[in-house]
Amino acid sequence: MKFILFGKSGVGKSTQEKLVSDILGIPKIISTTTRKIRRDEIDGVDYHFVTKEAFFKLQAEESFVQISMFKGNHYGIQHSSISDNCVAVLEPIGIMQLQEIYDDIVPIKLILPETLRQERLANRNTGQSMEDEERFDNFPAKYSIRADGTPEEVASQIVYICRDCH
């Protein structure tokens, strides 16, 4: 199964991806991106950070199973990053692209009260805009989880879903 976490900025998707990967012992799908690395990120662990030229070369070589663009940055998942059991964070368009190829995609939506989400984004201090977040509002998910508990509490809910799907 391919467990795909999605939700608005600031709901804790990356934190949950890491926790779920660690608890279940399944790999994260590491996307390739042209966006700038953040101070707390590690190349090859959080993303494969590449130049636009390198991204376009990989695209021309048909290395990607999924590609998307968000806020002027390119994102893609390479065929080699996907395994039978894995967890990833994707945008809705990426989930739809993977669902066209794989029949074992399990989208899990993380939701958070808006005031808490805004507080998290302010504390993140990356200057991230909260525009265009409505793309998540109507995207269907078999599972939705409130992400306002501790990271461990939220992860235990996701892990329960993952184990139930096997």
Closest by CA position to 28, among listed 103, 90, 92, 98:
90
DSSP 131: T
Predicted structure pTM score: 0.83
Give me the pLDDT at residue 135, please: 64
Give me the pLDDT at residue 112, please: 87
d(C-alpha 95, C-alpha 79), whole Å: 15
> Does 130 score more than 60 pLDDT?
no
Q: Which CATH architecture has domain 30-81?
A: 2-Layer Sandwich (3.30)
Q: Which structure tokens are listed for 96?
A: 């739809």
Element (DSSP H or E) covering residue 152: helix 151-165
Closest by CA position to 49, among listed 64, 37, 63:
37
> Does 156 score more than 60 pLDDT?
yes
> Any idea what the Cα angle at residue 21 is, between residues 19 and 26, rounded to 5°?
165
- CATH 3.30.63.10 placement within the chain: 30-81
DSSP 45: T
Per-residue pLDDT band at 86 (split at 50, 70, 90): very high
Indicate the CATH number for domain 1-28+84-166: 3.40.50.300
- How many residues are recorded in the chain? 166
- Rounded to a whole number of angstroms, the CA Rg of the chain reads 15
117/97: higher pLDDT: 97
pLDDT tens-digit profile of 34-78?
999 988 899 999 899 999 999 999 999 999 999 988 889 999 999
Distance of CA 93 to the CA centre of its chain: 11
Give me the pLDDT at residue 117, please: 75
Taking residue 21's Cβ as centre, other Cβ atoms within 10 Å add up to 18
- CATH 3.40.50.300 placement within the chain: 1-28+84-166
pLDDT tens-digit profile of 67-78?
988 889 999 999
Q: Which structure tokens are listed for 32?
A: 């390739």
